[in-house]
C-alpha cells in the first residue's frame, strides 16, 4: 500500500499569531521580516541630550558601542552614523523625531572640550543652519515627508517653504511656542514619512516588505504609534491608500499646496500584516484654549472627534502594552487609558492589549535622571525614584526582542548607559516593583507642582487614579485602579502580579487566595503562626531575605514579620499573616483588562526553573530572536 499523501501544512496568518507562544517558547512558524520604528515625544530628538528611553533604544539598535563622545567628531551630536546605519536605516528601522522644539543643542565655541550636555549650550531644534547637520533631521512639520532624498545617506529631509513650516506658526505670542509644541502639529508628517518609507520597500523588488512592524513611543510619540498603526492598516491592508494631510487650520495653519499628494496608492491589500505597540503614557495634548474644541472636553477627558486615530486600534495590532502615569495631574495631559481605547471593529480574539499603570508623572518613565531646573523642590525626590524607568525600559526591551526586533549589540550589558547593567531576573523585577511600593509616597511627592505646570490645563487627578484631591498614602490606591489591577493595594499592575506569582508561587497563593477558597494543605500554618526556613513557604521567604531587601520590606508590610530564633544555631522565622491578606473586595469582579501580559512571554523563568535546567528560550530576555528568513513570494497577496 503506498504511503498516504502528507497533509498540507496550514499557514497561520502573521496577524493571528505571535512570535512568542503562551508558554514563552518561540513560535516555530516561519517568521517574516521585522521593521522597528522609534517614535519620540514632544521635544524628543535622536540628537537630544537628555539620555531618554526612546533615544537609548534607537542607539542600541544601530550603534556599535554606546559612548556618544568616543571621538571629537561625536561631541556635539549623536547622529554620527556608520556603515550599519547607512545600510539598515529605512530598510529595517526608522526614527521619528518628536513634534515641537527639540532638546538637542549646539555647544558654544568655548565648550568644545566638554560633552555638550554638561555645558550650557543653546537649545535648538528648528530646521536651519543652526543644526549640527543642517536639514538632516529637522522637526516634523518643517520637512517634506515624501522626498526621495530621505531614503539614502545622509537621509536628508528638505525643508518646506517657510510659510508652511509648523515652527513658523506661533500659538502663544511672545513665548515662541508654536503649533508643534502646543497642539502636536507635525505628527501627521511623521506618519506620512513612515508610510512613504514602507511603500518604497513594498515597491522595490530588491527589498522584502516587513510583515511585522514593531512600534515604540512616549507621550505624543506613543500617540504616533497608534496613528501609524491605523495608517498602515488603511494603506497596506484595507487598500485605501494614503495622501498628505493639510495642516490643522483650527490652530492657525495654512493649507500646504502639496496637500493631497499620494504617499501610498490605493489597492494594496496585504494579508498577514502584524503591528505590535509599546506605548509609554500616550498623551495627545489637544483640547483647545478652554478645553472645548471639536467635541473635546478637558474636564470630561474627551478627545477631539477628528482625532479618532489617536485612540483606535485597528485589527492588524497584535500585541499592545500601554503604560500610564498614576501621579500626573496636569489636565492638558489626559492619556489614552482603558476607558478611552477603542477598537475599529471590536477587539479581535488575537488582539492582546494590556494597560500597566506606574507611579510617577508623565516623564518619570522616560529617564533615570531628572531634567528639573537646578533648585527645584522635587529634584531631590526624582533622583531617588528610579525603579519605575528601569522597569519600563526592561519590559520594553523584552517586548521588542520577543517580537523580533534585533538590537545590534547588548546594550543591557553596558553598565555606564542610563538603563544598562543587564536584564533583570524575575526576582529582580519583583524587587524593583517592591521598591516602588515601598517608596509610593515619594513618587507622589514628586507630582506636578508650581505655576508653570499648573498653567498646562490646571491640576486634576486623572480619572483612572481619582483620589478626590487627597494626597495621603491611604489614597494612593483608589478604587478607580481596580479595572487595571486586581488587589490594587498591594500590586502596582498586572505585570507585577504575574511576576510575583511566577517567582514565589507559595507566597502568592497565601496572600491572594481568599481563606474560604483556599485548598489548605494539612501542614499549612495558621494566621499568627511562625514558620522557619525549612518549610516550603519559609524557603521562599529565606531566599528573599538573603538577596532582595525591598521585597522583604514589602512582605513585612503585608504581615510576614521576621523573627530571630536564638539558640546554638541562630536562625530566622516569620510570623504569618492571615491567608488572603492581600485580597481587595470585589477586585476580581471589577477587573476589566482586555489582555493578558503572560501571553506575551514577558514573565521570565524563576530561579527554580533556571536552576532546574528548564529550557528558557527567548522568554528569559537574554536571547535575541535571529533575523528571520524571508517568506515565500506567495505570501505577498495583493501586491
Same domain, 370 and 249: yes
**CA pair distance 469, 446, nearest whole angstrom:** 15
Is there a domain that residue 244 lies in?
yes
- Name the residue range of residue 574's domain: 521-578
- Taking CA 422 as the corner, what is the angle to CA 417 and CA 426, rounded to the nearest 5 degrees? 135
Q: Is 603 exposed, middle or buried (0-12, 13-18, 19+ CB in 10 A)?
A: buried
Is there a domain that residue 142 lies in?
no
Number of structural domains the chain divides into: 2
Same domain, 227 and 353: yes
Same domain, 293 and 425: yes
Q: What Å distances lie between residue 510 and 502, 523, 607, CA to CA?
A: 14, 13, 20
Q: Which residue positions in the chain have pLDDT lower than 70?
A: 1-31, 49-50, 64-81, 103-136, 171-176, 246-256, 288-293, 369-384, 409, 416, 446, 448-458, 467-475, 515-528, 565-571, 585-592, 612-639
**CA pair distance 428, 504, nearest whole angstrom:** 12
Q: Which of 421, 445, 469 is the last residue of a domain?
A: 445
The phi and psi torsions of 375 (rounded to 5 degrees) equal 90, 0
Same domain, 278 and 411: yes
Is there a domain that residue 497 lies in?
no
Q: Which of 445, 466, 498 is the last residue of a domain?
A: 445
Q: Which of 578, 599, 623 is the last residue of a domain?
A: 578
Query: Tens digits of per-residue pLDDT, 556-612?
Result: 988 898 887 665 555 678 888 888 888 876 555 556 677 889 889 899 998 888 876
Is there a domain that residue 65 lies in?
no
Is there a domain that residue 477 lies in?
no
Number of neighbouring beta carbons within 10 Å of residue 75? 18
Residues 6+ apart with CB under 8 A from 521: none
**CA pair distance 15, 134, nearest whole angstrom:** 40
Same domain, 538 and 434: no
Sign of the four-CA dihedral 589, 354, 385, 427: positive
What's the pTM?
Answer: 0.85
C-alpha cell at 208: 522584502
Number of neighbouring beta carbons within 10 Å of residue 209? 23
pLDDT attached to residue 371: 58
Same domain, 208 and 313: yes
Is there a domain that residue 281 lies in?
yes
Query: Buried b vs exposed e over 104-142: b needs ≥16 C-beta within 10 Å?
Result: bbebeeeeeeeebbebebeebbbbeeebbeebbbbbbbb
Is there a domain that residue 564 lies in?
yes
Query: Tens digits of per-residue pLDDT, 208-236?
Result: 899 999 999 999 999 999 999 999 999 99
pLDDT attached to residue 429: 96
Same domain, 391 and 539: no
Same domain, 536 and 395: no
**CA pair distance 625, 8, nearest whole angstrom:** 27
Is there a domain that residue 510 lies in?
no
Number of neighbouring beta carbons within 10 Å of residue 505? 14
Nearest partner of 55 among 68, 65, 45, judged by Cα: 45
Same domain, 375 and 255: yes
Sign of the four-CA dihedral 554, 560, 565, 570: negative
Same domain, 314 and 192: yes
Amino acid at each position: 500500500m503506498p504511503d498516504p499523501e502528507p497533509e498540507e501544512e496550514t499557514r497561520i496568518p502573521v496577524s493571528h499569531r505571535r512570535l512568542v507562544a503562551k508558554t514563552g517558547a518561540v513560535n516555530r512558524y516561519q517568521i517574516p521580516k521585522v521593521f522597528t520604528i522609534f517614535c519620540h515625544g514632544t521635544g524628543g530628538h535622536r540628537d537630544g541630550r537628555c539620555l531618554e528611553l526612546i533615544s537609548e533604544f534607537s542607539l542600541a539598535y544601530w550603534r556599535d558601542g554606546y559612548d556618544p563622545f568616543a571621538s571629537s567628531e561625536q561631541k556635539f551630536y549623536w547622529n554620527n552614523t556608520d556603515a550599519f546605519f547607512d545600510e539598515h536605516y529605512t530598510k529595517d528601522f526608522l526614527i521619528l523625531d518628536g513634534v515641537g522644539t527639540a532638546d538637542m543643542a549646539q555647544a558654544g565655541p568655548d565648550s568644545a572640550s566638554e560633552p555638550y550636555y554638561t555645558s550650557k549650550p543653546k537649545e535648538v531644534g528648528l530646521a536651519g543652519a543652526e543644526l549640527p547637520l543642517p536639514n538632516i533631521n529637522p522637526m516634523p512639520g518643517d520637512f517634506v515627508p515624501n522626498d526621495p532624498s530621505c531614503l539614502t545617506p545622509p537621509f536628508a529631509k528638505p525643508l518646506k517653504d517657510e510659510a508652511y513650516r509648523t515652527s513658523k506658526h506661533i500659538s502663544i505670542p511672545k513665548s515662541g511656542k508654536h503649533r508643534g509644541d502646543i497642539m502636536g502639529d507635525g505628527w501627521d508628517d511623521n506618519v506620512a514619512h513612515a508610510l512613504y518609507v514602507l511603500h518604497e520597500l513594498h515597491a522595490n523588488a530588491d527589498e522584502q516588505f516587513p510583515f511585522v512592524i514593531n512600534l515604540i513611543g512616549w507621550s505624543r510619540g506613543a500617540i504616533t504609534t497608534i496613528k501609524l498603526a491605523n495608517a498602515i492598516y488603511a494603506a497596506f491592508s484595507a487598500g485605501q491608500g494614503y495622501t498628505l494631510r493639510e495642516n490643522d487650520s483650527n490652530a492657525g495653519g495654512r493649507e500646504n499646496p502639496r496637500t493631497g499628494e499620494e504617499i501610498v496608492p490605493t489597492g494594496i491589500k496585504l494579508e498577514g500584516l502584524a503591528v505590535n505597540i509599546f506605548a509609554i503614557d500616550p498623551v495627545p495634548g489637544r483640547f483647545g484654549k478652554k478645553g472645548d474644541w471639536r467635541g473635546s472636553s478637558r474636564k470630561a477627558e474627551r478627545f477631539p472627534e477628528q482625532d479618532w486615530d489617536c485612540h483606535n486600534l485597528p485589527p492588524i495590532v497584535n500585541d499592545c502594552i500601554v503604560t500610564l502615569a498614576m501621579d500626573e495631574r496636569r489636565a492638558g495631559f489626559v492619556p489614552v487609558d482603558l476607558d478611552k481605547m477603542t477598537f475599529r471593529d471590536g477587539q479581535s480574539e488575537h488582539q492582546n492589549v494590556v494597560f500597566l499603570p506606574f507611579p510617577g508623572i508623565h516623564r518619570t518613565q522616560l529617564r533615570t535622571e531628572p531634567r528639573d531646573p537646578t533648585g527645584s523642590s522635587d529634584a531631590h525626590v526624582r533622583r531617588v525614584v528610579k525603579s519605575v524607568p528601569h522597569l519600563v525600559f526592561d519590559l520594553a526591551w523584552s517586548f521588542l526582542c520577543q517580537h523580533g526586533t534585533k538590537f545590534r549589540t547588548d546594550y543591557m550589558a553596558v553598565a555606564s548607559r542610563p538603563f544598562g547593567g543587564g536584564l533583570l531576573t524575575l526576582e529582580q523585577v519583583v524587587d524593583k516593583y517592591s521598591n516602588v511600593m515601598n517608596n509610593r509616597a515619594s513618587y507622589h511627592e514628586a507630582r506636578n507642582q508650581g505655576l508653570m505646570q499648573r498653567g498646562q490645563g490646571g491640576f486634576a487627578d486623572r480619572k483612572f487614579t481619582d483620589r478626590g484631591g487627597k494626597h495621603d498614602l491611604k489614597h494612593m490606591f483608589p478604587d478607580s485602579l481596580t479595572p487595571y489591577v486586581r488587589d490594587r493595594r498591594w500590586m502596582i499592575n498586572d505585570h507585577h502580579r504575574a511576576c510575583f506569582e511566577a517567582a514565589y508561587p507559595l507566597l502568592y497563593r497565601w496572600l491572594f487566595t481568599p481563606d474560604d477558597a483556599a485548598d489548605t494543605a494539612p501542614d499549612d500554618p495558621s494566621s499568627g503562626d511562625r514558620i522557619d526556613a525549612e518549610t516550603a513557604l519559609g524557603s521562599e521567604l529565606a531566599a528573599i531575605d538573603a538577596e532582595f531587601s525591598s521585597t522583604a520590606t514589602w512582605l513585612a508590610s503585608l504581615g510576614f514579620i521576621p523573627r530571630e530564633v536564638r539558640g546554638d544555631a541562630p536562625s530566622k522565622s516569620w510570623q504569618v499573616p492571615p491567608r488572603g491578606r492581600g485580597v481587595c473586595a470585589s477586585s476580581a469582579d471589577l477587573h476589566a483588562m482586555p489582555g493578558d501580559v503572560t501571553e506575551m512571554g514577558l514573565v521570565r523563568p524563576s530561579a527554580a526553573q533556571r536552576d532546574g535546567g528548564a529550557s528558557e528560550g527567548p522568554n528569559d530576555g537574554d536571547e535575541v530572536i535571529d533575523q528571520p528568513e524571508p517568506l515565500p513570494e506567495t505570501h505577498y497577496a495583493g501586491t
